[in-house]
Copies of this chain bind each other. A is one copy, B any other.
């Protein structure tokens, strides 16, 4: 934490800004990463996901799952029995997010400690 930031040139900075913009466009927002983390345990049905990711409404969950599916992060699986049930699981492309999730996870834990230490 004492190490400073690398100083970037204007061109490098704008490349970094574009890359981070692209990343946030795909996985930014309040829910997408949380949904991916919730599915890291294994495939889950809609109601199970809604119970795990506290605070998400069914309408928003449905929209977010559709976007994650369209962008190749999750897939829908249909189980045919007497009733057709649907569950969701991560695709292998989601695994490319591992380093991002790990970094956020670590940072979030130390940030919480810092905030709690303050109050």
Contacts and interface: CB of A to CB of B under 8 A. Distances in A.
A105 interface: yes
B8 A104 contact: no
Contact of A33 (B2, B20, B34): B20
Nearest to A53: B17
Contacts of A21: 34, 108
Given A3-B98, A100-B104, A37 B20 contact: yes
Contacts of A19: 104-106, 108-109, 112
Please give the count of copies of this chain that the complex contains.
Answer: 2
Interface residues of A, number: 58
Contacts of A66: none
A7 interface: yes
Contacts of A109: 19, 22
B41 A98 contact: no
A41 to B, nearest CB: 5
A45 interface: no
Given A24-B30, A28-B28, A104-B100, A52 B13 contact: yes
